[in-house]
Structure 1
Amino acid sequence: MNKSIVIKKGFAEDVRFQLKDGSGSDAIHTVPTYAYGVCHLHTDSMLQGVGLAFTLGEGNNLVKDAITYLVKHVEGREINELMADFGTTYKQMVDDPNFRWLGPHKGVVHLALAAVVNACYDLWAKSRAVPLWQLLIELSPEELVNTLDFSYYEDILSREQAIELLRSKSAGREMRKKILDLGYPGYDTSVGWFNYSDEKVADNIRHAMDMGFTAMKLKVGSKDPARDIRRAEMVRNIAGDKATIMFDANQQWNLPQAISICKSLLPLNPYWIEEPTHPDDVYAHVALAEAVPVKLALGEHVPNKILFKNFLQSGCMSFNQVDAVRVGGVSEFILISLLSKKFNIPVVPHVGDMGQIHQHLVLFNHIAMDHPALLLEHIPHLKEAFVNPVEIVNGRYKTPHTPGMSADLK
């Protein structure tokens, strides 16, 4: 029998970290401040739920204010009773008539929703004294699906279809649990931030390889494409032909530029090219995929399940980078992962939360849904800010065993 734990009060916090020396920079966000809109759920016990939404500085206070409003939907609720039908509460929050006009389902209010939703899942796992990945894989298909909101998905993935998909993946679960001992493979984004010098990028590549990483990513999107090509060639030359290399433009190119530069990057055998153009422009991504035989990774700035639905239906997405602190938290992440599995598109999350949350979710995706265990992005800059930071050994995430989703900040 699960112990009764009641959410007494929700609080929001604005937490910011100023990065230095070019860390975190890309073609659009040249001077980033890593920031979290934090939701704290205080209970009638010693346990506290902690949920994060990720931003890049100014504006984080707006997310904080929106969290303060949305937590009213879960205050006074017993956590196990709440999560037994969380899909209903989720829909009430996402369609709150005082906030829906501001989205719908995107922007500041959706980021705040992510923080509240994630805090609920964190508290749920803590209430059962297990890490989030374990809680999720131990739920029955019906219990898991009860935490989801299928609105606007009925035509492509119904509740019943989701249950059947999960049941169909029960075979092989024990074999897939070997990932818990092996550790989930990571890739290093911090080698190639946009404002790093060529010399620093070269040193970082060698350091990443010494740490056991065989996959790494370079930020591109320079005003002078020749700079991107030169640096991309340098990464390939130092890392070697067998290394897995990705290039991330962070939405910098228009379609003609994307077509031209992607063609120039093709000889370097990129594993993917990420966010080549505006994240809402489905047609441009389709046109790029038709013009250049390159795999596209999309989702860092795709805000909700509907746009993910459109991208998956369009056929232009090769890798799904859904982020549980960008969409409406763990609940929407799981729903999008289910649809992605239906389309056989692997999920390789963006990790604006430093991988803390997604290390749990990729384990769940692999074990419960049979998503391939490909790669999880690793960014080390805020490691010291967390009570239980991720651990990387030989380029792999060690499986977390502390109860919750590893989101507690010091």
Structure 2
Amino acid sequence: MYITSIEIKDKRFNLPDGVGSDATHTTPQYAYAVCCLRTDSPVTGIGLAFTLGAGTDLVCKAIDYISVALKGREIEELMADFGNEYRRIADSPSLRWLGPHKGVIHLALAAVVNACYDLWAKSRQVPLWQLLLDLTPAQLVNTLDLSYFEEVLTRDQAIALLENQLPARNERTGVLSTGYKGYDTSVGWFNYPDEKIVANTRKAMDNGFNAMKLKVGSDDPGRDIRRAALIRQTAGDTATIMVDANQKWNLPQALYVCEKLGDINPFWIEEPTHPDDVIGHQAIARAIAPFKVATGEHIPNKVIFKNFLQAKAMDFCQVDAVRVGGVSEFLTISLLARQMGVPVVPHVGDMGQIHQHLVLFNHIGMGHEHLFLEHIPHLRPYFVQPAEITGGYYQVPQVPGSSSDLKD
């Protein structure tokens, strides 16, 4: 199956009032820069990078630059040594200068890489999670770029980690029957009034969710504390509640508000300060223990994830395959997190479409704990095969590919 042409789409979706709002992104427009790999067959590979509207056109232009080298390539040949291909693209001298490995160029790389994996799975007529499980450890590692990981995760160590998980895989395949547990992020968007977050909490519980998240980071910390208490009172002591500041606080503010939020026994406090501030996150993690820090939604690449993990600055790794360099870098980071004993609970800029596949592989193939996956339903009507949630669980996708196809 040969790639014959590349089509790029700028897809933007307006949201109802309050939906998607957080302390930093108060009026979001959800959007995707989409890479479409056309082939000499009816099959097209679709890859997404998530943005918030303005600037999506810049990512689309970068996809044009990055993807041109894929024309004429046969998908099996391309993916057999994709780790080296990935590094060649990411380290293209003129484009690397614009990052390196972050920003518009890296978002574009995510879309291109995700399209390659989607096409590969479709060409084999299996869902992405099955494709990844079907690969031998060496074949999977061949799709990854482990450069700059030499001191923490070599190729041989990555293969050994995966091989060591093979004997117990059958003990973890029960997730294919139950589905993968979800948590509801749409309970407490930042601009929702108090009565709406209470009603949403009740609705989420009625729909089978016992884990949910509230957006915090108000100019008045009292608002955050009051709203968190409302959700705890509504959901009860046994519910799992997370809070997410979306980078709003400086370090002193974070330390103060996190201490106050401890009264609701949060499962984690997410993005408490600037996403590049490794030492700041480390200080917060130490200060608020035994409460935990989750971050990664805006961490752009594997090297910074490595630094966070080395510094013990994150308790939950929220790597996102539509922000880092696609499925390949997601799996690379997941392997390192597994080696260092940190759970991966992805952020789902793709609304859970691709990540429902990746968490299945992380659990079955890598031995990551089955915790839960974020659920955001607001773009559901636009997908050809939207993620299905039943009783609070993602149902296992059965259609070939990565579930990324968007309706025309």
> Which TM-score tier does this pair reach, normalised by the shorter chain?
over 0.9
Deviation of 1:73 after TM superposition, in Å, equals 2.2
Who is 1:95 aligned against? Answer: 91
Deviation of 1:170 after TM superposition, in Å, equals 0.8
Answer yes or no: is 1:390 the counterpart of 2:408.
Answer: no
> Distance in 1 between the 2:343 and 2:182 partners?
15
Deviation of 1:21 after TM superposition, in Å, equals 1.4
Deviation of 1:288 after TM superposition, in Å, equals 1.0
Contact 1:73 1:89 in 2 (8 A): no
Who is 1:137 aligned against? Answer: 133
Contact 1:299 1:323 in 2 (8 A): yes
> Following superposition of structure 1 onto structure 2, how do residues 7-406 of structure 1 map, counting pairs within 5 Å?
7-293=3-289, 294-406=291-403
> Distance in 2 between the 1:291 and 1:382 partners?
37
Deviation of 1:74 after TM superposition, in Å, equals 1.4
> Distance in 2 between the 1:317 and 1:195 partners?
27
Q: Deviation string for 1:49-103 (max 9, x for gaps)?
A: 0000000010000000000111112111000000000011101110111211110
> Distance in 1 between the 2:285 and 2:344 partners?
18
Report the secondary structure of 2:187's partner residue: strand
Contact 1:32 1:57 in 2 (8 A): yes
Deviation of 1:316 after TM superposition, in Å, equals 2.0
Q: Deviation string for 1:259-286 (max 9, x for gaps)?
A: 0000001121100000000000000011
Q: Deviation string for 1:306-332 (max 9, x for gaps)?
A: 000000000121100000000000000
Question: Which runs of 5 or more residues in structure 1 are unaligned?
Answer: none
Tell me the C-alpha RMSD between the 2 structures. 0.5
Q: Which amino acid aligns with 1:304?
A: N
Report the secondary structure of 2:183's partner residue: strand
Q: Which amino acid aligns with 2:392?
A: G
Q: Deviation string for 1:130-163 (max 9, x for gaps)?
A: 0000000110001000001111111110011000
Deviation of 1:20 after TM superposition, in Å, equals 1.2
Runs of 4+ in 1 over 3 A off after TM superposition: none
Deviation of 1:180 after TM superposition, in Å, equals 0.6
Deviation of 1:291 after TM superposition, in Å, equals 1.6
> Distance in 2 between the 1:227 and 1:21 partners?
20
Contact 1:258 1:276 in 2 (8 A): yes
Deviates more, 1:88-97 or 1:112-121: 88-97
Contact 2:185 2:374 in 1 (8 A): yes
Contact 1:347 1:371 in 2 (8 A): yes
Q: Which amino acid aligns with 1:241?
A: D
> Distance in 1 between the 2:313 and 2:92 partners?
33
Aligned residues: 406
> Distance in 2 between the 1:256 and 1:122 partners?
44
> Distance in 2 between the 1:354 and 1:288 partners?
28
Question: Which runs of 5 or more residues in structure 2 are unaligned?
Answer: none
Deviation of 1:249 after TM superposition, in Å, equals 0.1
> Distance in 2 between the 1:287 and 1:275 partners?
13
> Distance in 1 between the 2:107 and 2:400 partners?
24
> Distance in 1 between the 2:149 and 2:50 partners?
26
Deviation of 1:292 after TM superposition, in Å, equals 1.6
Report the secondary structure of 1:137's partner residue: helix
> Distance in 2 between the 1:171 and 1:229 partners?
46
- 2:405 paired residue among 366, 383, 408: 408
Q: Which amino acid aligns with 1:198?
A: D
Identity of aligned residues (%): 65
